[in-house]
Every structure is written in structure tokens, then in C-alpha cells.
Amino acid sequence: MNDSDINQQQLDEQVQKALENMSTEEVRDVFIESMVLEKLSDEEEVDDEVFEELKKDLNDRLDGKINEKLLAVLPEDKVGELDSIIEGGADPEKIRSMLAENNVSVDDVVTGAMKELREEYLGDAAKDVEE
């Protein structure tokens, strides 16, 4: 193992510890913001309003992807039940519980949606990072 491998391993461990202490919303915010920053070149300056609009757009797109993936893996006869729970203003834990009862891994769905969005938004740069 060379020094760069050790440094990367240490960095990965530090990131993992930081993620464990963050809420889902905080992780999502960091993910979205990092993609926007990666997409913008160092020379490209945007004002705060534009930056926030870019983040909002990506958040909306991520929501759509998550919903799309949830519907794809949820048994067809349970889709109406999920809609009723969501429309009733259920808290996220109730939704997560319903999905778990139907063997749907929310973490896997969200991770898949995030990877897909990243690849679409960043193109080849995202694929290079994963390899």
C-alpha cells in the first residue's frame, strides 16, 4: 500500500464517521451542493440566488428519481396504500416502516437514485469517480 492509498483510506474513514453523525437531510444537502460545485468550473462565478436555484432544481430531480424508483420496486397492489399514507401527511418513519414491511430497502432506493442523478448531471466525470 502506498502513501496515497493510506491517505485515501484515512479520508474515507473520516467521511464515513462524518456521515454517521449527519441527518438524512444534511447528507442530501452535502450531496447536492457538492454536485453543483463540481459541475461549475473554478472560473465560473454564480451569485447566491443562481446557486440556490441550481440546488433546488437538483433536489426536485432527486425527489422525482426516488419516487420513480420506489414505485418500480414496490408491489403494485401497495402503491395505493403508499399514496394514501403520503397524502395523509404521514411522518417519514411511517413511510419507511410501510416500505420495510414490503421488503423495500429505502437506503438502496435512495442510493440508486443519487447515483443515477449524479451520472446524469455530471456525465462522464461521475463515471470516472466511481471507477
Tell me the pLDDT tens digit for each residue of 19-32.
677 777 888 888 89
Q: Three-class SS of residue 71?
A: helix
Domain residue limits at 24: 3-130
The C-alpha atoms of residue 110 and residue 99 are separated, in whole angstroms, by 13
The C-alpha atoms of residue 121 and residue 131 are separated, in whole angstroms, by 17
Instruction: Over range 16-45, report the average pLDDT.
Output: 80
Range in 49-53, 79-83, 108-112 with the lowest mean pLDDT = 79-83
> Could you give the C-alpha distances from 29 to 50, 59, 104, 113, 125, in angstroms and in order?
16, 8, 24, 15, 20
Residues in Cβ contact with 113 at an 8 Å cutoff, skipping those fewer than 6 apart: 62, 65, 66, 68, 69
All three cell numbers of 76, joined, read 403494485
How many domains in the chain? 1
Task: Please tell me the pTM assigned to this model.
Answer: 0.74
Instruction: Over range 83-92, report the average pLDDT.
Output: 80
